[in-house]
Structure 1
Amino acid sequence: MAADVVGPVGLHHYYAAVGNRDAKLATLLELLQALQATTNRRHLAICCSSRDTLDAVVHALLQTRAFAVTAIHSDLTEKERELALSNFRRGAFGPPAAAPGSAGPSTGGGGAAGPADGGEAGSLRERGGLDAGAAREVEQLPSVLATTDVTLKALPKELLPVGVSLVVEYELPPSKEVYSRRMQTLFGGGKDRRAQRCVVVDMVEAGAVGAFRALEGFAATPVLEMPVRVEDMFTAQS
């Protein structure tokens, strides 16, 4: 599940300072496009505090047609959230391995989708602005999971941690509890983080200095300025 480890493993935390909300969205797109240009195809999660922000981020990403975007929010049913997360994991990491001695992939729970799941998966793709003819192309794109904090609490436990290598905190966590939930849900616990390079990038608007100072107080590691070469976040000592 983990991406190829090049630099030191563990949690590495960075921030990107932006002037305002419009600049924040532009900076996010520049960051993701720069990562896309690197040799390693990285899969990531974007954390938002509100549904309005989530919608704006997802819309901007879909407009680029450069990412396979999965949006999980509170308007989805429990079954739809489970299916969306399963599809994200399948697109990012491939189908789950069959258990030893089993005849093939399981069709229950969070396993590979069976025929009954195909229609629902198709409808979710269409909601994301993708038609069925683009499905094969989507599978070759970097996978992006966009979610709200409310939804993180409702994700199916059997599909966690998500296992991404990069988390973008598009909106700063308002508390240590929210921050910890993001890290635990998306990266896993301490053992999981020590097994791979886990990178967090915080998008900090000019008016959010107070929230950023609070984050520095409860973040698991020092929050450093994002390097000019974004790939250095995954390779350099920090």
Structure 2
Amino acid sequence: MESMEAPSPSFQSPSRFSQQLHFYLAVDRPQFKMETVVELLGVLGRRPWLPIIVCCSSRDELDAVCSSLSTLPYISLAALYSDIAERERTKVLEEFRQATIKWNQQLNSVVEEDLEESEATKEEKISHLVVVTDVCLPLLSSGESPLSARVLINYELPTKKETYTRRITTCLASGGIVINMVVGGEVATLKSLEESSGIIIAEMPINISEIL
């Protein structure tokens, strides 16, 4: 995890996040967090080509999230972890970037939906989700491009501003949405992140899919 004295080279000032929206989603108990994420992605995943990143702090956490999300329809799921082969890592990153291109093209074009849309076409419009641990985030200092997701979900709330900032810098597009999963006593950590980063983290609205 990044040092407080030596921020990551990818550190950006909070002003760079001014167009991004930061939310928190509170759950009463840790055992309810996974169920809540599955329900959330069951809704968001129905948006055509929506590029989503879920950040985890450990490999065990990543494996558990991937297992729970693997059966969700409308979502193409991939993972980035420490011992992934370089060729597979490159493939995951490239496929996700292609998904972001399709998402942006959809936003920038005015096309009427075809009510007779075929099942094959629906398959092509699935959302793309990558689950990643902090140690496997894109290395901007080594020339890797940011992932530019529309939605970033912090499955575990980072305790340090540098970690929060690095996840946003490497994973989230301008105008993107951050959803922080918060359990019980993590409210204090949330407030600390707000103060140290100079951002406002509001409660997630019920109609989150409408502001994508």
TM-score, with length taken from structure 1: 0.66
Aligned mates of 1:157, 1:90 — CA distance in 2: 21
**Does the 8 A contact of 1:160 with 1:186 survive in 2?**
no
The list of structure 1 runs, each at least 4 consecutive aligned residues, that deviate by more than 4 angstroms after superposition, is: 136-139, 153-159
Shift of 1:31: 1.4
The residue number in structure 2 matching 1:18 is: 27
Select the residue among 216, 224, 236 that pairs with 2:202. 224
Is 2:39 aligned against 1:30? yes
Amino acid at match of 1:17: A
Aligned alpha-carbon RMSD (Å): 2.6
Conserved 8 A contact 1:16-1:226: yes
TM-score of the superposed pair, with normalisation by structure 2? 0.74
Q: Give the drift of 1:211.
A: 2.0
- 1:10 and 1:207 mapped to 2: Cα distance? 28
Question: Is contact 2:49–2:100 with CA below 8 Å preserved after alignment?
Answer: no
Q: Secondary structure at the match of 1:34?
A: helix
Q: Deviations over 1:67-120 (max 9, x none)?
A: 1011001011333322221122224435xxxxxxxxxxxxxxxxxxxxxxxxxx
**Partners in 2 of 1:180 and 1:216 — Cα distance?**
11
Alignment gaps of 5+ in structure 1: 1-8, 95-135
Equivalent residue for 1:74, pick from 62, 66, 82: 82
Shift of 1:153: 5.4
Q: Report the equivalent of 2:69.
A: 61
Q: Cα 1:209–1:24, aligned 2, differ >3 Å: closer, same or farther?
A: same
- Measure the CA separation in 2 of the matches of 1:143 and 1:68: 5
> Contact (CA 8 Å) 2:53, 2:149: kept in 1 or not?
yes
Give the Cα–Cα distance (whole angstroms) in 2 for the partners of residues 26 and 219 of structure 1: 29
Q: 1:173 aligns with which of 133, 158, 167?
A: 158
What percent identity do the matched residue pairs reach? 32
Task: Check the 8 A contact 1:31/1:230 in 2, yes or no.
Answer: no
- Distance, in Å, in 1 between the alignment partners of 2:178 and 2:63 is 21
Q: Per-residue deviation at 1:199? A: 0.6
Unaligned runs of 5+ in 2: 1-17, 103-120
| Distance in 1, Cα, partners of 2:49 & 2:91 | 23
Task: Rate the CA distance shift 1:137–1:227 in 2: closer, same or farther, 3 A.
Answer: closer
**Matched positions, count:** 178
Q: What amino acid is the match of 1:210?
A: A
The one-letter code sitting in structure 2 at the alignment partner of 1:148 is T
